[in-house]
A and B are shown apart, each in its own frame.
Chain A
Amino acid sequence: MPKPRSPVVELTLARMREFTREPEAIFWVFVFPLLLALSLGFAFREKPPDKIPIGVLAGAHANERLAALKKSPVLLPRIVTEEEAHLALRRGKISLLVAGDAAPVYRFDTTRPDARAARIEADGALQAAAGRRDVFRASEEHVSERGSRYIDFLVPGLLGMNLMGTGIWGVAFSVVNARMRKLLKRLVATPMRKRDYLLAHIFSRLGFLVIETIVVVTFGWLVFDVGVNGSLATFAVLCVIGGIAFTGIGLLISSRARTIEAVSGMANLVMMPMWICSGVFFSYERFPDSIKPFIRVLPLTALNDALRLVMNDAASIASIAPQLAVLAAWAILTFLVGLKIFRWQ
């Protein structure tokens, strides 16, 4: 008879087998992130910026102004009546209204960036039509470098989000399911060490994390030309520590829950703030400075920031040390607390 393998190895193998025999799990871990990246990638693909729609109030100067504004490459002007104008402005169908008699009056919402741009552009076009001469002729250089496009921002964010989702869901469902089936109770009735069970979850997650990361990164590289500019070793260390942190959070979330509903609610509660705040789809720089320190210690923020630094800016392992420290702290704390308060029966 072959010598029995160590309990951790057997538990890890069992967990991996269970996972690969669950077709839904394969979809959520491997297919879903690709679909998401594909749809978002196309929604935000590189294309000439849209022209800004503006209105010219019907009246004595309307037609000459319309002609002047049409010469601008960024404006899309049309003539509107007073009633139309009010509604169109409010609904955002036009960003700016050109009114006034001899001297134009610009009516717009100052908090809208495109409205401010439209005001400057419209004023320039009308001034030129009225005879103003440019002092000099400036030229333009357009920037669309690898690493500065939206998709370069998005792919690391999606990878981080996917590592969070699969780490938390993968562990939480399997633990709560085993608890509901009284399998946990059966396991503690053996001489199995409790920490081996939790470690096996972490190890099996890491196995899938490797595949999952390779799939997402390869996809981003082939389809959107988003690569890993930094060292692959640094990237791998980061993904592994990030993956362990979220597996730990998954263990903590599922440490007491008795039903799938309870653990789902808890997982959503934990992940929701990170989906919003941790810079998956847009930068958290827009949040007030006072709450940024809190956002930065969220594990997904740390992972996303570090992934972007490594993938886009080729950052070294030393320069992502703060983020690695945040992730490692989450991993260790959640594992220890989870093990302590774990409900086995």
Chain B
Amino acid sequence: MARFIVRRMASAILLLFAVSIVVFAIFEVIPSYNPARAIAGRNATATTVAEVSHKFGFDKPVYVQYAKTMELIFTGQVIDYNDNLNVDSQFAQRFPVTVSLVVPAALIWLAGAVVLGSISALRVGGLADRGLMVAAILGVSIPVFLLAAVLLYAFAFKLPWFPNTGYVTLPDNPAQWAYHLFLPWISIAILSIGFYSRVLRSNLLDMVNEDFVRTARAKGLTRRQVFNRHVLRNSLMPIVTMFGLDFAVLLGGAALVTETVFNLPGIGQYEAQAIGNLDVPPILVGAMFTAFFVVLFSAISDIVYALLDPRVRLAG
């Protein structure tokens, strides 16, 4: 098992390296595109452009450019020339907000998906099952901007149950923190619960026909024991892989619509603004940031999968 972990982490590092080259290529090596000018922003003077050019090494060979760019990103020296802010420190400041949004939402959707998926599978064909599956499809189909806006309108404006956007940090006031984040959590969770519960339900139904489940019943285990220890356990594994990627992308800022609608000062909001303003430095750092999490979490989910399924440990 330890060997597996080491191998997986080593390939994660290599992968990150490869991804960084791709990100670099996208932003800085496209023909007829002046990276220095793009990075220097819309209000750039000639001096700024020259400064950027020198800093990023655009007058030097490609590999030097790459090295310098990576160095700038990792040592926190990328500056957003439009508002003269240090991009890396912006990310650092905004990251806790995104974490506050994403982590509890993820826990809600995981727990919800397991419960809903299990109920559906246990009462397959019944009213609960069909009802839940319809609700799941709705959850998957509703565009997040619509859902977020509707929730905000309905529960913060029309029915003043929840605050009208804004963010309160956790150390200041935990109750307010949760209160402000509740609707955003629901927005994110509803989308994923639908999808995950359907996948789980499908896996559970397949699993019930497996031979080893028959053996478990033949041993005299109760229905609940058979379900928890054999059926559910074996059905969760594909969910782990999916979850790793979804979670990683969200940490990188994929919840940008939710953050924007609810005015939460997180990574996603920052990236959304940068995209709107065609502001290259934050986008560049954002790409690397997300890439880092995706690589990390796919390695972690592989490791968790290996923990759950011992047959996988023999392979790579």
> Does B associate with A?
no
